[in-house]
Amino acid sequence: MSVFASLVAHLADLLQPLFHASATAAAIILFTALVRLAVHPLSRAAARGQKAKARLSPQIAELRKKHGKNPDRMQKALMELHAKEKVSPLSGCLPSLLQLPAFFLMYHLFSSGRIGGEPNELLSHTLFAAPLGDRWSDALAHGGVFGGAGLVYIALFAIVAAVATFNYRRTKLQMAAAPLPDQAPGMGAMAAMTKVMPLLSFATLLTVAWVPLAAALYIVTSTTWTAVERAFLYRDMPTAGALATAA
């Protein structure tokens, strides 16, 4: 943990001339961007996998028609198809999974009162008027919703809401372009899940409100990066609007 704290402190020192009292907050944003840049090759691989799955949709539909009443045979046939086409069903999860250690390090760093037996000085660093070790509840207790710290959270909530709305609309369009058949066993439950999936982005608001501000900055930066990255990597994926225009 002390090594990670030193890394954040060194980044903050580099950014001090530009961001002054908010240099540590800027260092967290920069650190998050570096993490996302490091896993970007995996995100590109995941995008290729998703596009490959989209190309396999007609074959998957045929398999469902053929083995729809035999879930075990259907699963085996899907695995064989994915292996043949060199498509990994889990490829899309890797970028998110590999970011978890960085997020947990950030969370624990700004939740710990002491580091290496010494007081954690990073907790007193701020983003404008909001201490990086505080949570939204602390902002409400010291100044209220429209206090100095409260306004920082309002800005973060606004960014998260905008990104979540963008993700929601894009996901809905993509799902409308490739609806799941509901006649096969298990497809009804999967269809119900896909209706909920576009709303999951809004759950980020709860996370931002609950974690320390430093971890919230990591989340906001990462989710914004994800939205922009996916819009770029999946720009040629079909959407309902594109299909309607083509028709």
Residue-averaged pLDDT of the chain? 83
Give me the pLDDT at residue 149, please: 96
pLDDT at residue 91 greater than cutoff 80: no
Contact criterion met (CB below 8 Å) for 50 and 87: no
Question: What pLDDT score does 201 carry?
Answer: 82
Helices within the chain (DSSP H only)? 2-19, 23-55, 57-67, 71-85, 94-109, 136-141, 148-177, 187-196, 204-210, 213-233, 240-246
Distance, in Å, from the CA atom of 127 to the CA atom of 148, rounded to the nearest integer, reads 10
Whether the CB-CB separation of 211 and 107 falls below 8 Å is answered with yes
Would you say residue 94 has pLDDT above 70? yes
Secondary structure of residue 214 in the 3-state scheme = helix
Partners of 131 in beta bridges: 126
Return the pLDDT at 173.
78
DSSP state of 113: S
For residue 237, the SS3 value is coil
Question: What pLDDT is stored for residue 76 in this prediction?
Answer: 78
- What is the pTM (predicted TM-score) of this model? 0.82
Out of 44-53, 74-83, 236-245, give the one with best mean pLDDT: 44-53
Q: Give residues with Cβ within 8 angstroms of 236, minimum separation 6.
A: 51
Which amino acid is present at 164?
A: A
Q: Which helix (H) or strand (E) holds 69?
A: none
Q: Is the pLDDT of residue 51 over 50?
A: yes
Residue 200 has pLDDT above 90, yes or no: no
Tokens at residue 139, please? 């902002």
Contacts of 211 (CB under 8 A, 6+ apart): 107, 135, 219
Q: In which band, very low, low, confident or very high, does the pLDDT at 116 lie, cut at 50, 70 and 90?
A: confident
CA atoms within 13 A on the CB side of 243: 11
Instruction: Write the CB contacts of 15 (distance below 8 Å, at least 6 apart in sequence).
Output: 23, 26, 27, 30
Q: Above 80 in pLDDT, residue 187?
A: no
Work out the pLDDT band at 90, boundaries 50, 70, 90. Answer: low
